[in-house]
Chains A and B, each alone.
Chain A
Amino acid sequence: MHSFVYTRASGLRQALDAARRGGRYLAGGTTLVDLMRETVERPAVLVDIAGLPLRDVTLTADGTLRIGALARMAEAAAHPGIRAAHPVVCEALELSASPQLRTVATIGGNLMQRTRCPYFRDVTAACNKREPGSGCPAREGVHRTHAILGTSRQCVATHPSDLAVALAALDADVRVLGPGGERAVPLTAFLLPPGDTPHREHALGPGELITAVDIPPHPRPLRSGYLKVRDRRSLEFALTSAAVALHIRGGVIREAKLAAGGVGTVPWRLPAVERRLIGERPSNRLWSQAAARAADGARPLPGNRFKTELLKRTVERQLRVVGGGR
């Protein structure tokens, strides 16, 4: 690990000021410290923000559920308000990492976590994300766990977050504070697909800080849930996952919101599946027909071709779990 200066921010203004001068925010640190030890990350100055007052979960006047960026994953997962309104969020959180990591890791940090691509984490390997222009060994190398959607010639790494998949399905916004004030960015625009600039992973400007995640009000009742498919039962990243939220009234699906994880370079919304569901009556046949569209546009590599079929089955199963089997 390279040496760094450590500072503790006593307030938001001080944190922004330190970051503007080149400091790097440290929240839970469960990704950053790990990558610093591997010398993938080499910040000169860490600005510890874990003590800032951004930890509350609140309901705003218009019914938006606001989760403070520094709420710990374990706290958010156990929050009765989140659980009642959006079980998909709590399930995604509790299927992430381990209890010890969720104690420390934060909601904002979870969105900012970096890919688990082994080439990215190995400083002796080429990686366009870590060293732009150096190449991507994953295409020709080991890529069984890599993305099949949203890939580019430069990068096929997945975004590893489960939470982000649930939030993408729920049309969440990321609230961002910077020198110019606060703004809201849709999560699906906050995380950037690699394109020709895989080192640019998010929409934060220099020194900007995530303050909260906003989940807008949805029609009720909204049933939701998260399914994660992986090589082992726990403490593992997703091969595929599905976040499903359905608003069913009068026996008809009025709203369908779906996103997939483990398959995209960013959390992957499934508009073709959603369109197939809306206006229809729940049935096993419908789930199967809709899920058949889940991998539309997929461009798998030889080693992760299985993900195309696995994704369809993951979506179909979770549609049945959330929407009911008939």
Chain B
Amino acid sequence: MPCERPSTDSASVRPNRPEALSGPASRRVFLAATSAVGGVLAAGPAAAEAAPLNMEWAASAPEPSTCVTLTVNGERHTLTMDNRTSLLDLLREHLGLTGAKKGCDAGACGACTVLVDGRRVVSCLMLAVRLEGAEITTVEGLERGGRLHPLQQAFIDQDAFQCGFCTPGQIMSALGCVQEAHTGCAEEIREWMSGNLCRCGCYPNIVRAVEQAARGW
């Protein structure tokens, strides 16, 4: 597959699942579209800019961008990206997947949690150039044929959010928590979900949602 820049990759500005959206004027379409365009505008000059490298070895190297092929929610993407791009920015700004949220951008809040090769990671601290051949799962990739994933349903059933900003990260982290079998009791769930902060304080209901999903696993 030829390696394309995000700015020329029309697939990257397309909302991932338009059929799941309520209409063309929905907030999600608007945000996804503008963030993707914003990403292109921001990524274009940055990717083209030659870095001031003072090392002889580095000076002979190509400009600091890399071509990477990775799979996101079952869909293969080949992109050339500025080496500084985090997985979180790749998802949000280049692929239009705005489920993973940028909370702290420092690995301390968990709002950007996704699965990489089946394991939960904070995508803000993961450089996307490292992910050659990796399989990424985001919250957008959980539903099957219009049916919510049991964890998504559990978060609704247990009223496990207020503002919802941390929820995609909570759900992806909960998926890791359940798959790792750290759901023996509420206390264990609290500890193994402690990488995800909720400023609304919905922790009791989040724990109940994870318990509910774990029971049906």
Contact = CB atoms under 8 A, between A and B. Distances in A.
Interface in A19-36: 21-22, 26, 29-30, 33-34
A37 interface: yes
A46 B86 CA distance: 15
Given A99-B176, A100-B122, A103-B120, A45 B83 contact: no
B120 A99 contact: yes
A99 B180 contact: yes
Given A44-B55, A100-B176, A103-B121, A29 B61 contact: no
A29 to B, nearest CB: 6
B84 interface: yes
A33 B61 contact: no
Interface stretch (B12-20, B100-108, B205-213): B100-108
Interface residues of A, number: 30
Contacts of A103: 119-121, 176
Interface in B127-160: 127, 129-130, 132
Given A99-B120, A100-B195, A104-B125, A6 B83 contact: yes
Contact of A104 (B64, B84, B108, B121): B121
Contact of A3 (B83, B125, B126, B190): B83
A45 B64 CA distance: 9
B177 interface: yes
B11 interface: no
A45 B83 CA distance: 11
A238 interface: no
Nearest to B169: A100
B54 interface: yes
Interface in A205-220: none
A5 B84 CA distance: 9
B84 A22 contact: no
A99 B195 contact: yes
Interface string B65-97: 010000000000000001110100000000000
A103 B192 CA distance: 12
A173 interface: no
A233 interface: yes
Given A6-B83, A22-B58, A98-B110, A104 B126 contact: yes
Nearest to B114: A100
Interface in A95-116: 97-101, 103-104
Given A4-B84, A21-B55, A100 B110 contact: yes
Interface in B22-64: 49, 51-55, 57-58, 61, 64
Contacts of B55: 21-22, 44-45
B16 to A, nearest CB: 23
Nearest to A94: B191
B57 A34 contact: no
B65 to A, nearest CB: 9
A44 B176 contact: no
A5 B173 contact: no
B169 to A, nearest CB: 9
A45 B127 contact: no
B113 A5 contact: no
Contact of B194 (A44, A45, A48, A234): A234
Contacts of A34: 106-107, 125
Nearest to A1: B84
A245 to B, nearest CB: 24
Given A6-B66, A6-B129, A22-B57, A101 B122 contact: yes
A191 interface: no
Contacts of A46: 83, 127
B64 A3 contact: yes
A101 B125 CA distance: 9
Contact of A50 (B51, B130, B173, B197): B130
Contacts of A326: none
Given A37-B105, A99-B120, A29 B125 contact: yes
A142 interface: no
A235 interface: yes
A22 B53 CA distance: 12
Given A44-B58, A100-B113, A103-B119, A29 B66 contact: no
Contacts of B180: 99
A34 B122 CA distance: 12
6 contacts: A22-B58, A44-B55, A44-B58, A99-B192, A99-B194, A103-B121
Interface of A: 1-6, 8, 21-22, 26, 29-30, 33-34, 37, 44-46, 48, 50, 97-101, 103-104, 233-235
Interface pairs A-B: 3 shortest CB-CB: A98-B195, A3-B51, A234-B194
